[in-house]
Structure 1
Amino acid sequence: MNKKISTSVATILTIGFFLALNSCGNASKKTNTATTSDTDEKEVVKTVYASDVIPFFDDWKLILGDGSNAGIANNFENKDFFYTENDGNSDWIVFKAPNGGDTHGTSNNTRTELAQIKKWYPKTANDKLTATLKVMNVSATGDARVAASHAVVVGQIHSADKFENEPLKIFYKKFPGHTKGSVFWHYEINTAGDDNSKRWDYSSAVWGNDFSVVGTEANTPPEEPKDGIALGEEFSYEIEVKDGIMNLTFTSKDHETKTFTKNLIESEYATKADIPKQTQKLFVPIGQDGVERKEAYAGEGCFFKLGAYNQTNGKSPEVNMNWCSGAETHNGDIQKQYADGNYAEVWFKTGSISVSEDAVSNEGYFTKND
């Protein structure tokens, strides 16, 4: 009788031991699963940097919308000015710049923009920049009679030398109340002589209107362009400079591809008689009636820029009816400007840069302007 009881107790203890062991095993498995889940969650929220989206940042320094130089922006973000977004299909790099705040160099306008770390010379150049982008916002305020109101520059060629003028600026502009905006590009003369205040731009329409189409009153825009580009609508540009000639190509789905050619080393604006009608309308009345040196940008180091260079600012239109928008800046308060639409925002999906062997350091430009 005692033997049977002992055997039963032993059996019960043995079964209990295995049940306890199995239970510990299950607990261990649950702990491992939770740990794995935590790890997966951390991987999901990993930051996607701009340099992950377009891996070409070794060729640029980044200027932010507060006027600071962030340098080479690999694995870098700034939530006010420069970061990434996903639209459900692709990752994009966001460039954002308010109407008012600290600016870079001598400009009146804020920018969040890449500036090439090398410069090249148009006569011997073999350099190229491409980009695919969409403009998401332009300033909600600004005098409609001012040509720069509600506009942003999304790509440039800039001179690093002498007057630091700009043989190319690619604009997007859309008036409030319009569905479609315009894409156009500018050539700025490289002024002859020592008085660069006489310089002016010549504007060429790509889709929609050029720079000269403005409103009749401060709050009365012109007619909406029929073949324009909407906010959030993708378009691409290609800029190639080779042997002194600049070639431009603009493409967008459901829009005609447009191409342009401009000689950068031989001026077509070297005499007063060469000043075009558009310039006589926009710039001559405010005293900007200079001529260009015959060799244009020959002998000057030039470099690419890409991003959001906000063309709308808070300066009074009485100062300059082409460039001073009189827009809302909330005394430079960035968050207030972002809250009521007084900023420029541009998203880039792809980009590439090709730099010729003859390009040299552009550090002198940053030393002067930082």
Structure 2
Amino acid sequence: MIVKTVKSLTVIVSGLCLALLLNTSCKNDKSATSPNLEDTATKDTLYASEVIPFFDKWNLILGDGSNVGQANSYQHEDFFYTATDSTGDWVVYKAPNGGDTHGTSNNTRTELAQLKKWYAKTADDKLSATLKVMNVSATGDPRVAASYAVVVGQIHSADGHENEPLKIFYKKYPGHTKGSVFWHYEINTEGDDNSGRWDFSSAVWGHDFSVVPTTLDELPEEPKDGIELGEEFSYEITVKDGIMNLKFTSEGHETKTFTKNLVESEYTTVADIPEQTQKLFVPIGQDGLERKNAYEGEGLFFKLGSYNQTNGKSPEVNKNWCSGADTFGGDIQKQYETGNYAEVWFKEAKILVSDQAVSNQGYFTKND
């Protein structure tokens, strides 16, 4: 993994010359093993807002659970900064396996959350991005579906149960070269009790969420059409008149498209619960039904970044979402040194916000 290339220094006898060379060569060094918060900028700092100029549309949530607001002319060397490789400039989002989290989640994230919310039935809203995943956790229980995974884009509800009609995942098992890209629809559970909520997973390239081994010492077959770490792919999310359309593209891979109605549920009776859900979620008591009008009437908003799905909680708590991974007591530096983090680089991203969108401040007030 390359965070920032540091120019080698020629040994110079003169202390004055050495000081000058250090001053010009090391200003932008980004060390994955000893990150620091940069409070003041150097002249040649490249900010994320210069690479992708859209940060006035978002609040940035960091891997320590804090909401830092709009990330214009901002960086944090633990979680959020820029990197450059042979293909150009990138915005880096990094989140450890364990640490302080945002809202009620068990998982850390360095992620953008949209400042406005919109309503599916009247929406004409869009998010697109080009990215590559550079790292997923090195540890975790392979039987847990969320292990070794990161969410790179979402639609989230700001109201009601605050469920998620869309989560886009990347997941790669240790020892595999290729990983899987898949997306989830989470039901908007009927009634006041949200404990029965569940996700339905659809494969894009490779496997879906439900493909897991039954023992600790085995892994599923490596996906032949999967995506490698460092391999670019793009997603496009459009919501208009109650319908969500998804498009996934990557050079050398088949383009995939999906459509989902967000205001009319297909999961309103027990007979509607898919076989995948019956095998994965029903055995642990997540067997709810969805409201007939799904997410209609609730404010929705986009999210983008690195939402690490691997955590240190025991799989005995939840065999789908609790990974039992290494967190070293929340020591971020130790997690970075040992590969226990998720890191995602974004090259491009665009958001289109409809005129009907309104302030999403209420969500942040409840969750910060």
Same fold, TM exceeding 0.5? yes
Does structure 2 conserve the Cα–Cα contact (< 8 Å) formed by 1:147 and 1:322? yes
In the aligned structure 1, how far is the partner of 2:109 from the partner of 2:217?
25
Task: Give the structure 1 partner of residue 285 of structure 2.
Answer: 287
Deviation at 1:245, TM superposition (A): 0.1
Task: Give the structure 2 partner of residue 221 of structure 1.
Answer: 219
1:38–1:281: structure 2 CA closer, same or farther, 3 Å change rule?
Answer: closer
2:313 alignment partner, SS class: coil
**Letter of the aligned partner of 1:313 in structure 2?**
N
Match for residue 260 of structure 1 among 240, 245, 258: 258
1:289 alignment partner, SS class: coil
Match for residue 137 of structure 1 among 128, 135, 138: 135
2:195 alignment partner, SS class: helix
In the aligned structure 1, how far is the partner of 2:279 from the partner of 2:225?
24
TM (norm. structure 1) is 0.88
Residues 1:316 and 2:324 are matched in the alignment: no
Does structure 2 conserve the Cα–Cα contact (< 8 Å) formed by 1:151 and 1:172? yes
1:367 alignment partner, SS class: helix
Task: Give the structure 2 partner of residue 271 of structure 1.
Answer: 269
- Which consecutive residues of structure 2, in runs of 5 or more, have no partner in the other structure? 1-20, 29-41
**Letter of the aligned partner of 1:60 in structure 2?**
W
1:117–1:278: structure 2 CA closer, same or farther, 3 Å change rule?
Answer: same
1:183 alignment partner, SS class: strand
Deviation digits for residues 310-334 of structure 1 (CA, Å, limit 9, x no counterpart): 0000000011110000000000000
Query: 1:2-17 maps to which residues of 2 (within 5 A)?
Result: none
In the aligned structure 2, how far is the partner of 1:221 from the partner of 1:176?
9
Deviation digits for residues 220-279 of structure 1 (CA, Å, limit 9, x no counterpart): 211101100000000000000000000000000000000000000000001111000000
Does structure 2 conserve the Cα–Cα contact (< 8 Å) formed by 1:64 and 1:113? yes
Match for residue 357 of structure 2 among 356, 359, 362: 359
Match for residue 333 of structure 2 among 328, 335, 342: 335
1:197 alignment partner, SS class: coil
Task: Give the structure 2 partner of residue 117 of structure 1.
Answer: 115
In the aligned structure 1, how far is the partner of 2:218 from the partner of 2:337?
24
2:234 alignment partner, SS class: strand
Deviation at 1:87, TM superposition (A): 0.9
2:255 alignment partner, SS class: strand
Task: Give the structure 1 partner of residue 243 of structure 2.
Answer: 245
In the aligned structure 2, how far is the partner of 1:312 from the partner of 1:186?
16
In the aligned structure 2, how far is the partner of 1:109 from the partner of 1:81?
14
**Letter of the aligned partner of 1:127 in structure 2?**
D
Does structure 2 conserve the Cα–Cα contact (< 8 Å) formed by 1:99 and 1:139? yes
Task: Give the structure 1 partner of residue 103 of structure 2.
Answer: 105
Deviation at 1:194, TM superposition (A): 1.1
Task: Give the structure 1 partner of residue 31 of structure 2.
Answer: none
In the aligned structure 2, how far is the partner of 1:39 from the partner of 1:158?
44
Higher helix share: 1
2:336 alignment partner, SS class: helix
In the aligned structure 2, how far is the partner of 1:81 from the partner of 1:301?
28
Does structure 2 conserve the Cα–Cα contact (< 8 Å) formed by 1:99 and 1:312? yes
Task: Give the structure 2 partner of residue 93 of structure 1.
Answer: 91
1:40–1:321: structure 2 CA closer, same or farther, 3 Å change rule?
Answer: closer
In the aligned structure 2, how far is the partner of 1:199 from the partner of 1:40?
54
1:40–1:289: structure 2 CA closer, same or farther, 3 Å change rule?
Answer: closer
Residues 1:191 and 2:189 are matched in the alignment: yes
1:120 alignment partner, SS class: strand
Task: Give the structure 2 partner of residue 32 of structure 1.
Answer: none
Instruction: Give the share of equivalent positions with the same residue, in percent.
Output: 78
In the aligned structure 1, how far is the partner of 2:49 from the partner of 2:88?
14
**Letter of the aligned partner of 2:286 in structure 1?**
Q
**Letter of the aligned partner of 1:275 in structure 2?**
I
In the aligned structure 2, how far is the partner of 1:354 from the partner of 1:321?
37
Task: Give the structure 1 partner of residue 18 of structure 2.
Answer: none
Instruction: Work out which of the two has the higher radius of gyration on C-alpha atoms and give 1 or 2.
Output: 1
- Which consecutive residues of structure 1, in runs of 5 or more, have no partner in the other structure? 1-36
1:218–1:361: structure 2 CA closer, same or farther, 3 Å change rule?
Answer: same
Query: Which segments of structure 1 move beyond 4 Å, counting only runs of 4 or more?
Result: 37-45
In the aligned structure 2, how far is the partner of 1:221 from the partner of 1:96?
26
**Letter of the aligned partner of 1:159 in structure 2?**
S
In the aligned structure 1, how far is the partner of 2:145 from the partner of 2:77?
30
TM (norm. structure 2) is 0.89
**Letter of the aligned partner of 1:293 in structure 2?**
R
**Letter of the aligned partner of 1:333 in structure 2?**
D
1:196 alignment partner, SS class: coil
Deviation at 1:45, TM superposition (A): 6.4
Task: Give the structure 2 partner of residue 211 of structure 1.
Answer: 209
In the aligned structure 2, how far is the partner of 1:235 from the partner of 1:175?
19
Deviation at 1:39, TM superposition (A): 11
Residues 1:66 and 2:27 are matched in the alignment: no
Task: Give the structure 2 partner of residue 307 of structure 1.
Answer: 305
1:280 alignment partner, SS class: helix
RMSD, aligned α-carbons: 1.6
1:38–1:201: structure 2 CA closer, same or farther, 3 Å change rule?
Answer: closer
Count of residues paired in the alignment = 334
In the aligned structure 2, how far is the partner of 1:225 from the partner of 1:105?
34
